[in-house]
Structure 1
């Protein structure tokens, strides 16, 4: 049974990069995807902190992208669009999108202080056991990163998705193991 959440991370990353595309070429797309993947990974690891949590979501499924598609007006199957692929193939990966993880990732991308606190809080999860992982593109994006993900770094554009479950993320980060208080985070992600 998969416990690494790679299926959920890949689908949620794909959804976010489609909902908030980059305007640049291949390099910009790669930089944008790297930032989104880091944000989604942090969010997924916080949402499902143990191997048991990961195994349970693998069995139950994360819920899919239908509500996210509706909120953002994406061209998902719920709206008759296919997002560029045939309807069945496009629907399959969308079932593995996790709405809460997408919301948390959007919150992290729009608020650097929140992203730093979330990365620090990963120490309370099982996912970092024995790993040396760096999330530089998420917590300290350079100018190329910012230009590549201008839509994904804009708090106002992210607000409809980020606000869905931001309170829950702040609650997770406010636990005694979190490095900072939620009062230190900007109200609008």
Structure 2
């Protein structure tokens, strides 16, 4: 059984592209969305590496959005009496890890390499070029989405967990 993470991936990528929109027209929006989706896919596959993990997310639901909205200031723009939490299915940890990957190409390459150990990438090989080696048009389209200072509040939420996963037993140098 291959559990489906696509609802979490789609919703988290959508949240990222709305919080950090493309700069430009339709092509820029598409390029930005592809980069967000690739980063979120890698993050989700790392976070939920087995079919059982993904199935549990399907049953229990992802982490939610309240803290992400608060960190980015989106909660102030929702207005009174608007129940937006019912349709929000993105995952805070996945969003944080994706933000880390979007702002650090070396970490993104390490994360993509780590996917070989999981079950999601079995079968057809996945392509993550726009995440790990964005060209100039990718960079321009996703200027906000890849801006380290803008993404820092989101990336820092769970950055240490991602580093622990990708660098087990690492030692911090003070």
Same fold flag (TM > 0.5)? yes
SS class of match (2:11)? helix
Counterpart of 2:118? Answer: 125
> 2:68–2:92: 8 Å Cα contact kept in structure 1?
yes
Distance 1:3 1:93 in 2: 20
Counterpart of 1:146? Answer: 139
Distance 1:33 1:160 in 2: 20
Counterpart of 2:160? Answer: 167
> Where do 1:32-71 residues align within 5 Å?
32-71=32-71
Counterpart of 1:103? Answer: 96
Distance 1:125 1:175 in 2: 16
SS class of match (2:146)? coil
Runs of 4+ with deviation above 2 angstroms: 90-93
- Cα offset, 1:127, TM superposition: 0.3
Unaligned residue ranges in structure 2 (runs of 5+) = none
2:87 to 73, 93, 113: 93
Work out which structure has the larger RCO, using CA pairs closer than 8 Å and 6 or more positions apart in sequence: 2
Distance 1:2 1:131 in 2: 14
Distance 1:92 1:111 in 2: 32
Distance 2:22 2:7 in 1: 23
RMSD: 2.1
Counting matched residue pairs gives 171
Distance 1:2 1:11, change over 3 A: farther
Distance 2:126 2:144 in 1: 26
- Cα offset, 1:63, TM superposition: 2.0
TM-score by length of 1: 0.84
> 1:11–1:93: 8 Å Cα contact kept in structure 2?
no
Distance 1:121 1:45 in 2: 10
Unaligned residue ranges in structure 1 (runs of 5+) = 184-189
> 1:170–1:182: 8 Å Cα contact kept in structure 2?
no
- Cα offset, 1:46, TM superposition: 0.1
